[in-house]
Amino acid sequence: MHEPQEIQVRQAVGAAVIGNVLEWYDFAVYAYLAGVIGKNFFPSDNEITSLLATFAVFGVGFVVRPLGGIVIGWIGDQKGRKVSLLLTIFLMAAGTVLIGIIPSYRSIGVAAAVLLVLARLLQGFSAGGEWGGSTAFIVEWAPPDRRGLFGSFQQSSVAAGLLLGSGVAALTNTLLSAADVESWGWRIPFLLGGLILPVGIYMRRRIGETPVFRRSQEEAGPADPTSGLELAARAFGFTILWTVSYYIMLSYMPTFTQKYAHLGRAEALWSNTVGLLVLVAAVPLMGLLSDRYGRKPLLIACCLSFIVLPYPLFLLMLSGAGLATIVGIQILFGLMIALFSGPGPAAIAEIFPTKVRSTWMSTGYSLAVAIFGGFAPYIATWLIETTGSPIAPTYYLIAAAIVSTAVIFSLRETAHEALR
């Protein structure tokens, strides 16, 4: 790669990554403060009822992700990746700051819950376009022999956003008393999320369009929508384990370890933060390995590990394991997710031709996330309540792993092929 082009690639990918970190911090911090949000917006004598309502609103943010993926993805395919990425920054900032300033249920009654749902809808619409737009942007800028490594930065930045959210939530709970957190301190992480707007716009307005996209615009003829729909169905199945493992192991886990493994609120958040830190560090290594050895070996290894390991590891956590053991388990889960998240962005982007990549990749991915990932904390809570067993979330993980294994086996290896 020539030096001017290499500098251009680094600037473009860096801008996408930093914006992505801030976007996913904004989107995920809600899950880490779910218990406190439930007390402020859904007060109830039954703690489970309050928590279910809070996680239902968490899931609402995912319901509109497919719509955001379609609309913003179409803008990305028609007007350029840069335009779509700037749009997502505006929407995410608006939704996040709104959560931070909404009065509680005690102040304005049911209107508080309505405004909370509206804010999550804004965040979800933005996230639906952000994932596909940033993935397409980064993979298309990558050198042909390093798409796995560069694509992994997208997933590292998502995990880094979750890490930042978990860390800020943990710090808030460490520095403030429980009463202060429940009264006003929970708002701080959301108000800090408003920083995404000036920082994100500054970074992204300076980037150029991808060379692959510019070439595709010069080619005559529209893409075949039937082919795009079929490929989106493959991306849908590909994504199921990816999203379930993320939102069970990284968003729901602090709630689980507090309630069933008997960790304190700060301990649970710090334990989760350590697991996320390992994930952020491991994802680029897995992406690099996929450039050398192919995407499918790592993806299938992840699927098989999620079929075999969740049940015994959850049993261990429930057996009275101490903080150190639970941290070790979360580190292991972080490494398992990295096996998928490293090669995943490049592998899913390589399914699609450039003309429809942003639209149909966003659609397939966002539908899977909306159905299986966004409501994962709700489903986990419901499964435990219905079965009476805290081990129940593992059944959901194992089923998701079986489905994605079958889909990935059916895909061809694309690591060493040129982008279409």
From the number of C-beta atoms within 10 Å of its C-beta (0-12, 13-18, 19+), residue 339 rates as buried
**Per-residue model confidence (pLDDT) at position 131:** 79
Count of structural domains within the chain? 1
Is 50 domain-assigned? yes
Tell me the whole-structure pTM to 2 decimals: 0.79
Is 214 domain-assigned? yes
Distance linking the first and last C-alpha atoms of the chain: 20
Report residue 354 as tokens: 């450039």
Is 292 domain-assigned? yes
Is 417 domain-assigned? no
CA 162 to chain centre: 8
**Per-residue model confidence (pLDDT) at position 194:** 81
**Per-residue model confidence (pLDDT) at position 411:** 92
CATH of the domain at 269: 1.20.1250.20
Report residue 414 as tokens: 């694309």
**Per-residue model confidence (pLDDT) at position 4:** 44
Is 115 domain-assigned? yes
Is 153 domain-assigned? yes
Per-block mean pLDDT, blocks of 10 residues, the chain (420 long): 62 78 79 79 72 74 83 85 82 88 87 86 85 84 88 85 83 87 88 80 73 73 63 92 88 84 85 87 94 96 96 92 90 94 93 86 87 82 89 93 95 85
**Per-residue model confidence (pLDDT) at position 5:** 64
Q: How far is CA 14 from CA 9, 10, 52, 170, 209, in A?
A: 8, 6, 38, 27, 14
Q: Tell me which residue range forms the domain holding 357.
A: 3-410
Q: Which helix (H) or strand (E) holds 224?
A: none
**CA–CA distance, 419 with 273 (Å, rounded to integer):** 35
Is 15 domain-assigned? yes
Decide: 395 and 121 in contact? Cβ < 8 Å.
no
Is 420 domain-assigned? no
